[in-house]
Amino acid sequence: MIIRTSVRAQLPGKNWLTKKCSAAEHSLAVQAERDSRPFIPRASGRLRSSGKVIGNVISWNTPYAAAMYYENVMVDPKTNAAGFRTSKGWRSRHGVKKIRSNRKYRYSEGGGQWFTRAKEKNIQKWLIQAEREVNGK
């Protein structure tokens, strides 16, 4: 499952302005990805390190990214369990499409909705950064 969000600024204008806005969107997406990291749950660090920026799109690409972002435990519809422990770690029944449960994840560090939480904390900084990027300051 991939979580994606994008940063977009649409301003009418000349070609140079469009290019500056595209550069500002990319720069802002890079900063937003960095600012989101402290809010991302960290067990192994795989989810945090999966964050990538291409253009103005930020994506976190792990099989469990969406479940962690929306904070609902995904369970096997037959067993109502998230998985089972084996000698090789946690596993699920092969080929089963899990469903969202009403149970919420408990995080020791970070939490769900990390982009939203980072945005609430940093939106003013991001707006200043984007304005500086477009104005060339």
User: What is the number of structural domains in the chain?
Assistant: 1
The per-residue pLDDT for 137 is: 64
Does residue 23 carry a pLDDT above 70? Answer: yes
pTM > 0.75: yes or no: no
Using one digit for the tens of pLDDT, what is the confidence trace for 97-110?
Answer: 888 888 888 877 78
Determine whether 120 is exposed, middle or buried from the number of CB atoms within 10 Å of its CB (0-12, 13-18, 19+).
Answer: exposed
Average pLDDT over residues 17-40: 88
* R_g of the chain, CA atoms, integer Å: 19
Domain that holds residue 80: 2-135
> Cβ distance 60 to 47 under 8 Å?
yes
